[in-house]
Amino acid sequence: MRKTCHCGETMTMKLRTVIYSGKVEIDNVPIFSCTTCSRSEVIPEVKPDLTGLIAQLGAEPDKGTFLFNECNEWADLLVEAKANKQQPEIHEVEALAEQRVNMLLDLYLLAQSLEDEDWIADINKRLQQISRRTLHT
């Protein structure tokens, strides 16, 4: 996945570690990175969840490590896509997203049949995350 940088060059998607407050490592954060001007930015699909996680940690967090892909569906999809191919193409990520949505909808039906409100809420959150579809080519 790629997008055009402000400098005019191509930014590529990478999974990076974000260090917050010098104490907390947040692994597998998808970012766009430009090798020409060294600009990096968190991909828009995951930014709300990353800022939410940082807000939960507070101003004085305890030392620790988090796997961002465990709390964000896009990050998890991109970890899976990169496991299969170093620089996945947009159509490959879209196919994984479609498969993930179908799986989540199946789980939603099961959660509803069990009347498990916590599980239903979790699946709704995951479906909302994956519905952020502004992926770049």
- The boundaries of the domain holding residue 61 are 2-132
Is 137 within a domain? Answer: no
State the average pLDDT over residues 126-131. Answer: 86
- Which tokens belong to 58? 């507070």
Cα atoms found within 13 Å of the Cα of residue 23, Cβ hemisphere only: 10
Is 127 within a domain? Answer: yes
Whether residue 89 has pLDDT greater than 80: no
Is 24 within a domain? Answer: yes
pLDDT tens digits, one per residue of 61-74: 999 999 999 999 98
Number of domains in the chain: 1
Q: What CA–CA distance (Å, rounded) separates 72 from 126?
A: 7
User: Could you tell me the CA-to-CA distances from 99 to 77, 92, 93, 94, 104 in Å, in that order?
Assistant: 10, 11, 10, 9, 9
pLDDT band at 95 (very low <50, low <70, confident <90, very high): confident
State the average pLDDT over residues 6-12. Answer: 91
